[in-house]
Chains A and B, each alone.
Chain A
């Protein structure tokens, strides 16, 4: 698994940055032409939710379209050895 790079210190630093950015939102008032985007924490929530939603939708898509690597056989490069080609 890939957990070893998502160690505690990394997560803590990331968490602190996010907290600081979230707090910063309450010290500024935005006046864009987009009403909804002026709500506090709009971009924080959008970033998190959009990312998670995207991953779950991609996983659903994968069930539908994923095939073995040799699906197209010799007419595709997918199973060719890469080492020799330059």
Chain B
């Protein structure tokens, strides 16, 4: 099908056009039309449609439509629409253009049928998204953006190395299922892992998402990590390591989220935990588990955006997204509170909300692995803690100083509409799961609403709520105060730089001491002067040895 217009091109064309439109409202209207128009290009197409472009002797499949790419492209389009609607008041052209390129790249990557195309769009998401952080235009955001782009580029580089080696090994760049049996596939796996915020590779997420503009965070939350989930589901379904990685991901962020003061960072830890559920599903790799992962990614994008939107609305109106500054807003922002609670109930997987019908698939698929199942149970309680209770409670109830002190208005209309739409999806999918189940890659025979399942889920959640009430009454619940928490990013933000500085100081010192005592001859060897300077052949031999060693290392790769 050669007449096919690639959906990502619609976004890129709009990104070129939009800055030229001087009238702000007209520009916002154009932006809203983009996801709709782009979705129209693939909604009607049949599964199996592909588009191949030859490049030298490689045939690039730049477009591939199947059940998996369809459902991810659909939810990315919806996320792009909701983000742009939520950001309709934004006049900053830089942020608007980067949102378009970011969303377009994510959708392009989902449709990529080969690794080279995937790489191009993979880098597109990295480069475009950093401007959502830099759009905040503060010094802290600048440095945070640098750290963010470093992690993203590292992922891109690993992917590139992996692709080159993979092509050398197999003679193909097709993006299909892979096994972890070579350096090439390990590189690709790790590249996906960085973007998916695997444990120890995760900190770029919690570091950067709270640093973006309040609208930028909503956009960021939807694409990068779920693109990685898609890539893992496509490339590494059934890889056992992913079960262990996923379990760790569901558990450790829960503790950090419980003590974090910045609510957007709480949601970032929560996002990490949600990714864990999806990664477990990919690791299990059965049709039920993979359906669960896709369903969970789908509903997660909606309710996570919704939660970020509600925090963003509060941030817009009060000037803070910190739990210690907020509280008592239910009177001032009742609609935002309502939508936030819908998001909270959805992420906590209350029956009749979208999280319930999606997470159940993964939890059921994990039953053959008892300890995995048990870990997911505990993690589910953790989700209720930080996203179900802490987020709405600390903004709209909690201590009431902030709301009483100043006159706080309800969120602007376009934000309300965006949140209402997202809430509508959360509830509709929760009540009619077949709406979503029909889109999943494998046929679903699962019935989420059995009396047993509903009762046990409610027991789990309500007794956890009871524990919350008990801890609150007894004053054992941890209080919120202004602070930050060290995570593994301390290693490269504090320890690494300090180690480098002290090592440099030590080397300089040793050098000086040595310099005083050694003869002119050894000085010549140490300083390794080039032969042209009239120095020794020893230096030349030394350099050749280094070069040979380097080539030897390359040969072993």
**B residues within 8 A CB of A67?**
483-486
Check A83 against B143 for contact (C-beta < 8 Å): no
Check A77 against B144 for contact (C-beta < 8 Å): yes
**Most chain B C-beta atoms within 10 Å of own C-beta, residue among A6, A10, A69, A76:** A76
Q: How far is the CB of B478 from chain A (nearest CB, A)?
A: 5
Q: Does A9 contact B (CB under 8 A)?
A: no
Check B469 against A78 for contact (C-beta < 8 Å): no
Q: Does B424 contact A (CB under 8 A)?
A: no
**Distance between Cα atoms of A76 and B138 in the complex (Å):** 10
Q: How far is the CB of A10 from chain B (nearest CB, A)?
A: 7
Q: How far is the CB of A39 from chain B (nearest CB, A)?
A: 12
Picked from A3, A30, A78, the residue with its CB within 8 Å of the CB of B472 is A3
**Of the 9-residue stretches B175-183, B223-231, B450-458, B521-529, which lies at the interface with chain A?**
B450-458
Check A47 against B462 for contact (C-beta < 8 Å): yes
Contact A51-B315, Cβ < 8 Å, known A21-B462, A61-B256: no
Check B464 against A47 for contact (C-beta < 8 Å): yes
Check B484 against A18 for contact (C-beta < 8 Å): no
Picked from A18, A55, A61, A80, the residue with its CB within 8 Å of the CB of B463 is A18
Picked from A1, A28, A57, A86, the residue with its CB within 8 Å of the CB of B452 is A28
Nearest chain A residue, comparing its CB with the CB of B138: A80
Q: How far is the CB of A80 from chain B (nearest CB, A)?
A: 5
- Chain B contact residues, majority secondary structure: helix
**Distance between Cα atoms of A80 and B319 in the complex (Å):** 11
Check B484 against A78 for contact (C-beta < 8 Å): yes
Which residues from 363 to 402 on chain B have a C-beta closer than 8 Å to any C-beta of chain A? 367-368, 370, 373, 377-378, 381-382, 384-385, 393, 397-400
Q: How far is the CB of A78 from chain B (nearest CB, A)?
A: 5
Nearest chain A residue, comparing its CB with the CB of B397: A5
Check A51 against B484 for contact (C-beta < 8 Å): no
**Distance between Cα atoms of A47 and B259 in the complex (Å):** 20
**Distance between Cα atoms of A85 and B215 in the complex (Å):** 10
**Distance between Cα atoms of A76 and B472 in the complex (Å):** 32
Q: How far is the CB of B462 from chain A (nearest CB, A)?
A: 5
**B residues within 8 A CB of A80?**
138-141
Q: How far is the CB of B470 from chain A (nearest CB, A)?
A: 8
**Distance between Cα atoms of A79 and B482 in the complex (Å):** 9
Check A47 against B476 for contact (C-beta < 8 Å): no
Picked from A48, A52, A62, the residue with its CB within 8 Å of the CB of B485 is A62
Q: Mark A70-86, 1 if CB is under 8 A from B, else 0.
A: 01101111111111011
State which size class the interface on B falls in. 35 or more
Nearest chain A residue, comparing its CB with the CB of B452: A30
**Distance between Cα atoms of A5 and B460 in the complex (Å):** 22
Q: How far is the CB of A9 from chain B (nearest CB, A)?
A: 12
Q: Mark A1-37, 1 if CB is under 8 A from B, else 0.
A: 1111110001100110110011011001010111001
Q: How far is the CB of B383 from chain A (nearest CB, A)?
A: 11
**Most chain B C-beta atoms within 10 Å of own C-beta, residue among A15, A42, A44:** A44
**A residues within 8 A CB of B397?**
2, 5
Q: How far is the CB of A50 from chain B (nearest CB, A)?
A: 4
**Distance between Cα atoms of A68 and B481 in the complex (Å):** 10
Check B455 against A24 for contact (C-beta < 8 Å): yes
Check A82 against B463 for contact (C-beta < 8 Å): no
Nearest chain A residue, comparing its CB with the CB of B396: A5
**B residues within 8 A CB of A72?**
484, 493-494
**A residues within 8 A CB of B451?**
28
Which residues from 12 to 67 on chain B have a C-beta closer than 8 Å to any C-beta of chain A? none
Nearest chain B residue, comparing its CB with the CB of A53: B378
**A residues within 8 A CB of B210?**
77
**A residues within 8 A CB of B478?**
55, 58-59, 62
Check A45 against B144 for contact (C-beta < 8 Å): no
Picked from A6, A54, A74, A79, the residue with its CB within 8 Å of the CB of B469 is A6
Check B456 against A86 for contact (C-beta < 8 Å): no
Q: Does B254 contact A (CB under 8 A)?
A: yes
Check A33 against B367 for contact (C-beta < 8 Å): yes
Q: Does B542 contact A (CB under 8 A)?
A: no
Q: How far is the CB of A4 from chain B (nearest CB, A)?
A: 8
Check A77 against B259 for contact (C-beta < 8 Å): no
Question: Mind listing 26 A-B residue pairs with CB under 8 Å?
Answer: A5-B397, A10-B469, A15-B466, A18-B462, A24-B455, A25-B459, A32-B367, A37-B456, A45-B463, A48-B463, A48-B466, A50-B464, A52-B471, A54-B258, A54-B381, A55-B258, A58-B478, A65-B485, A66-B483, A67-B484, A71-B484, A75-B493, A76-B140, A77-B144, A82-B320, A85-B214
Which 6 residue pairs are nearest across A and B when measured between Cβ atoms? A47-B463, A83-B319, A77-B140, A58-B258, A51-B467, A43-B459
